[in-house]
A and B are shown apart, each in its own frame.
Chain A
Amino acid sequence: MINRRHFMKGGLAASTIGALGLSKKSEAADFAGYPDSMGVLVDLSRCIGCRSCEAACNSEQQLPPPEKPFNDFSVFEELRHGQKRRPDENTYTVVNSYDPPALDHPLFRKIQCNHCLEPACLTSCFVNAYTKTPEGAVIYNPDVCVGCRNCMIACPFYIPAFRYSSAFQPRIMKCVFCHDTRLREGKPPACVESCPVEALTFGRRTDLLAMGKQRIRQNPESYVNHIYGEHEAGGTAWMYLSPAPFEQAGFDTTVPNEPILNYVKDFLSFVPMVLMIWPALFAGFHLLAKRKNDNTSAATQDNEE
């Protein structure tokens, strides 16, 4: 009996150590992104709200025609369910207009997938439909997607959209950084190339951070001293500079600086333990208990005899 108890204690201790060891071994916490991966710095102080980026995206990605032409600016007044426009199954990017009190002109903000360094959508996907490419894009493979839409819940920026309108080809629709058509060849995405005022600056993410900091340093009165996306959600490939506080331009400033992955990593590291160790452990308990019962009943039978 004493031997058996020692065995159980040892087993429990070993599985606990194993679980802790697994969580410590995870490399995601230190991942600083692919070296030389590309990004875009969006300078809101430059954007004039011309919607050329929306038009360029539409033709590059061969998306369905819009309800209104891309030089119709009445879309800035549109509210859907009380909210400004956002990317949906027909549009990978939208520009919205905001009126920060400190500015005497509207502030325009382009929204699209921010292409996180450690994407929550990718983490949440159990069939690996998402890939973070070395170039910096977060791309999606509709062939393996099972349509669970976990990525839509996981994304801290509410970007992935589902093509509900198609009964036979439903899929996630989101900006792919023009990966297949342009980024892979080193070319800037279509929206960046279409911008008449370089509100969108394309380059290596490390270079963009240096540029952003230089712009703030040279014109401290024109910018909030922060690059949105440098640390948000563990860092994003698309980053923003703004002349007004970010929350006044519709940004979610409560997005944590840690990758979303870190919040579930500790829990997820227990999953292998639960799946691998628990069945064996409890099967062992069961067999031991059964053996004891058998012994006891056998002994009883012996006594009776």
Chain B
Amino acid sequence: MKFEHRKMVIAMVLLLAGSCFAPGISPGQYQYAPPPKEITIDYLSDWYGPVQYNHEKHAQRADCQDCHHHTTGPEDSERPFRKRVNPACLVCHEQSPPSETVSCKQCHTRQQFYPGEVVKSDNPVLYHIDRTGLKRAYHQACMPCHLEKRTHTSCDSCHALTEKGRQAYQLQDKTGQKESSGQNE
């Protein structure tokens, strides 16, 4: 944890520095921070360990909008995000301002289906009655592309099973194969 904490601080300093000195942005324009190079996704670690996500490498291979359906900053010719946005969203959000953050966890809850989330539908004018939780949001962001590009799609190619996970899946030896009594016969 200590290591991750230090990393986080460094990342934040870098982000702040980047946003202050980012060239080409006039003071009146919306300022957006450059994306982080590497992210440790550990909010949901339980059966599986944290994901060391190389954001920089992925950003080189895909457009921001392939994963982030919200954007910061205004649209321009370099970042024509609206053409990628689901038309169903634009019915209401055509005039919506840029969001302050594009981080998944900002909107998609870790506590999906817990009492606090369930009662949100008490609001009679709530349109988004079926908001995705964080775990699905992550998998939805990654898996379609991994399937399409036929790269690794098995669970432990992104996050390794923890000891708790090994017990949950009833794996008994270290090779990932359950020892069967029939093998000796």
Q: Which residues of A contact B (CB under 8 A)?
A: 50, 52, 55-56, 58-59, 65-66, 68-72, 186-188, 192-198, 201-204, 207, 210-211, 214-215, 218
Q: Can you offer 16 A-B residue contacts whose CB atoms are under 8 A?
A: A56-B168, A59-B168, A65-B170, A69-B171, A71-B155, A71-B171, A72-B178, A186-B114, A186-B118, A187-B115, A188-B112, A197-B135, A198-B132, A198-B133, A198-B136, A207-B121
User: Does B10 sit within 8 A of A, measured CB to CB?
Assistant: no
- Whether B130 pairs with A215 at a CB distance below 8 angstroms is yes
Q: Which residue of chain B is the closest to A65 with respect to CB atoms?
A: B170
Contact size range, B? 20 to 34
Q: A198-B133, A203-B113 are in contact. Are A58 and B118 (CB under 8 A)?
A: no
Contact with A along B114-145 (1 / 0, CB 8 A): 11001001000000011011011001100000
Q: How far apart are A196's CB and chain B's nearest CB, in angstroms?
A: 5
Residues of A within 8 A of B170 (CB): 55, 58, 65-66, 69-70
The reply to whether A69 and B178 form a contact with Cβ atoms under 8 Å apart is yes
Q: In chain B, what residue has the closest Cβ to A200?
A: B113
How far in angstroms is the closest Cβ of chain A from B153? Answer: 9
Q: 4 closest Cβ contacts across the A-B interface?
A: A198-B136, A186-B115, A188-B113, A202-B113
Q: How far is the CB of B9 from chain A (nearest CB, A)?
A: 30
Q: Tell me if B40 counts as interface (CB < 8 A to partner A).
A: no
Q: Whole-angstrom distance between the alpha carbons of A202 and B171 in the complex?
A: 28
Residue of B47, B88, B121, B167 near A204 (CB, 8 A) is B121
CB distance from B40 to the nearest CB of A (A): 18
| CB of A179, distance to nearest CB on chain B (Å) | 16
Which residues from A are CB-within-8-Å of B135?
Answer: 195-198
In the assembled complex, the Cα of A203 lies from the Cα of B47 at a distance in Å of 24
Q: Does B129 lie within 8 Å of A207, measured CB to CB?
A: yes
A58 and chain B: residue at smallest CB distance: B170
CB within 8 Å: A-B pair count: 73
**A263–chain B nearest beta-carbon distance, Å:** 34
Q: Are A201 and B139 in contact (CB under 8 A)?
A: no
User: A192-B113, A218-B88 in contact; A70/B169 too (CB < 8 A)?
Assistant: yes
Q: Which residues of A contact B132 (CB under 8 A)?
A: 198
By CB atoms of chain B within 10 A, which of A50, A66, A197 has the most?
A197
Complex partner residue of B167 from A59, A71, A188, A215, CB under 8 angstroms? A59
Of the residues A69, A196, A197, contact of B169 by C-beta under 8 Å? A69
Q: Which residues of B contact A58 (CB under 8 A)?
A: 168, 170
- Chain B residues near A211 (CB-CB < 8 A): 129-130
Closest CB of chain B to A236's CB: distance in Å? 18
A60: nearest chain-B partner, CB-CB = B168
B130 & A214 in contact (Cβ 8 Å cutoff): yes
Query: Which chain A positions have C-beta within 8 A of B118?
Result: 186, 202-204, 207
**Assembly CA distance A65 to B167 (angstroms):** 10
The docked-state distance in angstroms from the alpha carbon of A203 to that of B118 is 6
CB nearest neighbor in A for B154: A71
Output the least CB separation between A184 and chain B (Å). Answer: 12
Shortest Cβ gap from B4 to chain A (Å): 23
Please indicate the chain B residues that have their CB under 8 angstroms from the CB of A194 in the complex.
47
Looking across the interface, which residue of chain A has its beta carbon closest to that of B137?
A198
Kindly report which residue of chain B lies nearest to residue A198, judged by CB atoms.
B136
Residues of B close to A193: CB separation below 8 A? 113
Closest residue on chain B to residue A68 by CB atoms: B178
Decide yes or no: A197 and B139 within 8 Å by CB, A50-B155, A211-B129 being known contacts. yes
Docked complex Cα distance between A266 and B168 (Å): 48
Residues of B within 8 A of A210 (CB): 121, 129
Cα separation A70 to B168 with both chains bound (whole Å): 8
Given A194-B47, A211-B130, 9 more pairs with CB closer than 8 A: A55-B168, A56-B168, A65-B170, A71-B155, A196-B135, A196-B136, A198-B135, A207-B129, A210-B129
Contact check, A187 vs B114: say whether CB atoms are below 8 A apart: yes
* Per-residue contact bits, chain B 83-124, to A (CB 8 Å; 1 contact, 0 not): 000001000000000000000000000001111001001000
- Kindly state the separation between the CA atoms of A71 and B168 in the bound complex, as whole angstroms: 10
Query: With A and B bound together, what is the CA distance between A195 and B135 in angstroms?
Result: 9
Q: Once the chains are docked, how many angstroms separate the CA of A198 from the CA of B140? A: 10
Q: Please, how many angstroms separate the alpha-carbon atoms of A207 and B118 in the complex? A: 9
Q: Which of B112, B129, B130, B177 has the most CB of A within 10 A?
A: B130
Cα A55 to Cα B170 in complex, Å, equals 8
CA A197 to CA B133, docked complex, whole Å: 9
**Separation of A201 and B136 alpha carbons in the complex (Å):** 11
| CA gap between A110 and B115 in the complex, in Å | 24
Give the CA-CA distance A214 to B88 in the complex, in Å.
13
